Amino acid sequence: MQELEAIIGLEVHAQMNTKTKMFCGCDNDAFGKEPNTTVCPICMGHPGTLPVPNAEAMEKAVRTSLALHCTVNPASHFDRKHYFYPDLPAGFQISQYDYPLASKGTVDYEMEGEKHTCRITRLHVENDAGKLTHRGDLTLCDYNRAGTPLMEIVTEPDLRSADEAVAFAEELRRMLIAVGSSDADMFKGMMRFDASISLREKGTTKLNPRSEIKNLNSFKALERALIFEGNRLKDIWEETGGPLKHDITVGWLDDEGRTRLLRDKETATDYRYFPEPDIPPLQFSGDEVEEIRKSLPRMPAELKADYLALGLMDAEAAMLVDQPLLRAHFDAVKDVTGDAKRASSLVLTQLVGFLKAADKSPAEGPGTDHLRDLAAAIRAGTISGNAGKDVLEKMVETGKSPREIIEAAGMKQISDTGAIEKLVDEAIAANPKAIESFKAGKSAALGAIVGWVMKESKGQANPKMVNEILMKKIG
Ligand code: ZN
Ligand code: MN
């Protein structure tokens, strides 16, 4: 048999982090709220109510489209997509069918240091359904999520393995977070995947009927489901001598680690799409789109390149791209020190190390302001770099500000001019040889004298002032 290759495409649903829902004024943040408390007659699909598109959601969807290098279509509209299910109060979803908001984009992603590109077919906007919880014979319905704005992002079948699908999905998640359109929190189901996979003989170009795996909620599930289904299709190929006869839809049983047939093509649901009569067509002028394009932040891949250019290691740059809070810390500290290496040592080595030891997340650690103050205290010479490390450890442990810790521990450096002058005089008297070689042009000899002062003062003398006063006396 000829070698087979997998052809994979994804449909990604991402919840948008807008203040209100897609077509009504209900609170879009239902996290931790009682079931069915963030609902109204519109998102409950009562007859006679009128949906009004959320301007914030449309703007965020346009921003995302542009970040994915899509063309925002000058005209698009909403359609009703009908299906009967208890999580859908209106009996239809308001989605976009033949005229989506945006089409034809690309996403570059990296895998094992190599650049790959996946084409984006389209991005459209729709509303989410409610959440059903099955308990024995009972089904509990919570409609808080019904009406949450969703972006559906559909790719071309450009992915060739489960690893590629995951690498692409991870990059897409970074981009959504960078754009600010979705929090893309996987644990809260804010990003979900449907993955289509088919096989073909390597070297051929025909697309064979595919298996669509529905509702994958994590990168791990995406990876496992694609590996499982790919192997299953291979077995079918070996048994029948070819691909599937028609498209199928399967579900992923995470506990059992296998897929299960949901429906054959023949019985596929007919959604009876038609244009949503209650919402006028959407129109975007070139100027509007360009305004939004100008406000796009730097994308994760660009950010990573920036940090690499500052001399950071690949893993350090990746950590900053993936963790916005550490990035804010790093940027603030680097602003103070003007030195990427030093900022990286303070934030990515020391801080991350202390957080790990204390079993805390960055959000539970010191705030950016406190880290900036610490860096400023080191830079101003209030404390030495070594003392700074101890202060940082205490900041992580206690949550106190660097100032409080420095003062309480009496760590403050000696910055009293008179006291330092006295120490410097003693140092000059005690190190005649060093003074001679300095005067003979060996500037390195200065280090020995400064070192003597630091030792005498038990590390508390302000090294910057010691240097200055020393230079004044012998320079
Ligand atoms: Zn509502
Ligand atoms: Mn959809």
pLDDT on residue 440: 85
**What separation in Å is there between the alpha carbon of 37 and the centre of ligand 1?**
10
CA of 43, nearest ligand number: 1
**What separation in Å is there between the alpha carbon of 227 and the centre of ligand 2?**
24
CA of 14, nearest ligand number: 2
**What separation in Å is there between the alpha carbon of 130 and the centre of ligand 1?**
12
Residues of the chain predicted below pLDDT 50? none
Comparing CA positions, the residue from 313, 300, 308 lying closest to residue 345 is 313
**What separation in Å is there between the alpha carbon of 194 and the centre of ligand 1?**
27
pLDDT on residue 135: 94
pLDDT on residue 464: 79
CA of 27, nearest ligand number: 1
**What separation in Å is there between the alpha carbon of 51 and the centre of ligand 1?**
9
**What separation in Å is there between the alpha carbon of 231 and the centre of ligand 2?**
27
CB 176 within 8 A of CB 65: no
**What separation in Å is there between the alpha carbon of 56 and the centre of ligand 2?**
19
**What separation in Å is there between the alpha carbon of 258 and the centre of ligand 1?**
37
**What separation in Å is there between the alpha carbon of 176 and the centre of ligand 1?**
25
CA of 126, nearest ligand number: 2
Q: pLDDT tens, 212-256?
A: 999 999 999 999 999 999 999 999 999 999 999 999 999 999 999
Delimit the domains of the chain by residue range: 4-292, 298-409, 417-474
**What separation in Å is there between the alpha carbon of 174 and the centre of ligand 1?**
29
Q: pLDDT tens, 67-122?
A: 999 999 999 999 999 998 999 999 999 999 999 999 999 999 999 889 999 999 99
417-474: CATH topology is Arc Repressor Mutant, subunit A (1.10.10)
